[in-house]
Amino acid sequence: MVVVMAAEASEADVQAVVTLVETAGGEAFVSRGVSRTVVGLVGDVERFGTLNLRGLPGVRDVIRISVPYKLVSRENHPQRSVVRVGGVPIGPDTMTLIAGPCAVETPEQTLGAAQMAQAAGATLLRGGAFKPRTSPYAFQGLGEKGLRILAEVREETGMPIVTEVVDARDVELVASYADMLQVGTRNMQNFALLQAVGGAGRPVMLKRGFNATIEEWLMAAEYIAQRGNLDIVLCERGIRTFEKATRNTLDISAVPVAQKLSHLPVIIDPSHSGGHRELVLPLTRAAIAVGADGVIIDVHPHPEQALCDGPQALVNGDLRELAKTVRELPPLVNRVLTQA
């Protein structure tokens, strides 16, 4: 059960809820978000039902929920949500293409990739300035210099930018440039980072941990929501299985399952799941067919020179087919490609 406090509720109002719940033998967890305070209740729900919490001063709503994640659950919010990124919608009626380089390397490479992305129908630009790499010797990203390049390319192309933040200490810096913050697979359960992006005032794309269940993924989203930020897009990017032919195993069924359990948009990353260029288009078709609200795809003007993930980047020769796929398939599942 969750008690949502009114914006004007006082500290004493919050305390009164906590005291009443504790007196009834329950536990109350207060989270103070940017725009609202939410009190999560743990204990005997039937007993809580008799407390008339809704009648207490400063209480706006009391929501009874049977799943462990509350704010992101569809039970709490039956209508599927639309998340807007710099004005671009990601949601149930559209199919949004996000594309760009895995990593920002140079201004020319980033602009080149952005133009490729746009030519294929992308309305949002991806590109990592802070890169989470398995090896400490691999290219770690350009940091703030990369963010400045992204901002210049946004200026030039008009595309809002999606970029990763890997450390809670960098959230403010990255949020000052980004239109959407990306939390990567390796950080899905970095709870301090989730809380920090929850307070950053920017939409968040939360990738599924490669070893996470769908429930764990939704609990991670709940950490962000609990800080008052419900602008969250879930991204399925493949999970680790015994299979070695692909970089990760794309869990196609995660899309309808997550959409049933949560009101948040769900997109697919066919690049990081397949890990090979020739798998990206087939997996993109599967993503659209299964009802994903968007796809995020790596493109690179010269993948043979890429400092990160060259083998999975689409090249100029692939763009025509990508453009055709994202234009022609969505109407078959009652969607349209998001327009700029």
Spatial separation of the C-alpha atoms in residues 107 and 12, rounded to whole Å = 53
Which SS3 state, helix, strand or coil, does residue 131 take? coil
Residue that is written with structure tokens 């980072």 in the block: 193
In the list 105, 164, 251, 309, the residue contacting Mn ion (rule: CB under 5 A) is 309
Beta carbon of residue 238, minimum distance to ligand PEP (angstroms, whole number): 8
Residue nearest to ligand PEP (CB): 184
Q: Which is nearer to Mn ion, 133 or 327 (CB)?
A: 133
Near ligand PEP in 229-258, by CB under 6 A: 237
Near ligand PEP in 97-126, by CB under 6 A: 102
Q: Which is nearer to ligand PEP, 45 or 138 (CB)?
A: 138
Q: Which is nearer to Mn ion, 85 or 297 (CB)?
A: 297
Spatial separation of the C-alpha atoms in residues 147 and 220, rounded to whole Å = 26
CB 110 within 8 A of CB 138: no
What binding mask, one character per residue, do residues 147-186 give for ligand PEP by CB under 6 A, x or -? -------------------------------------xx-
Q: Which is nearer to ligand PEP, 208 or 263 (CB)?
A: 208
- Residue 170 interacts with which of Mn ion, ligand PEP, none, CB < 5 to 8 Å by class: none
Structure tokens at 93: 């009626």
Which SS3 state, helix, strand or coil, does residue 3 take? strand
Number of residues engaging ligand PEP in binding (CB under 6 A) = 9
Q: Which is nearer to ligand PEP, 208 or 335 (CB)?
A: 208
CB 198 within 8 A of CB 228: yes
Single-letter residue type at 326 = V
Closest CA to 64 of 261, 9, 73: 73
CA 146 to each of CA 119, 153, 248: distance values in angstroms, whole numbers, following the listed order: 22, 11, 27
DSSP 6-40: PTT--HHHHHHHHHHHHHTT-EEEEEE-SS-EEEE
- Residue 301 interacts with which of ligand PEP, Mn ion, none, CB < 5 to 8 Å by class: none
Q: Per CB under 6 A, does 207 bind ligand PEP?
A: yes
Pairing of strands 94-100, 266-268: unpaired
Q: Which is nearer to ligand PEP, 272 or 335 (CB)?
A: 272
| Largest interatomic CA distance in the chain | 67
Please identify, among the stretches 44-52, 99-107, 176-184, 220-228, the one whose residues bind Mn ion according to the rule CB under 5 A.
Answer: 99-107
CB 53 within 8 A of CB 59: yes
Beta carbon of residue 272, minimum distance to Mn ion (angstroms, whole number): 6
Neighbours of 97 (CB within 10 A): 25
Please identify, among the stretches 79-87, 108-116, 245-253, 304-312, the one whose residues bind Mn ion according to the rule CB under 5 A.
Answer: 304-312
Please identify, among the stretches 11-19, 57-65, 228-236, 301-309, the one whose residues bind Mn ion according to the rule CB under 5 A.
Answer: 301-309
Beta carbon of residue 272, minimum distance to ligand PEP (angstroms, whole number): 4
Angle at 173 between CA 171 and CA 177, to 5 degrees: 110
Beta carbon of residue 269, minimum distance to ligand PEP (angstroms, whole number): 6
Q: Which residues bind Mn ion (CB under 5 A)?
A: 102, 309
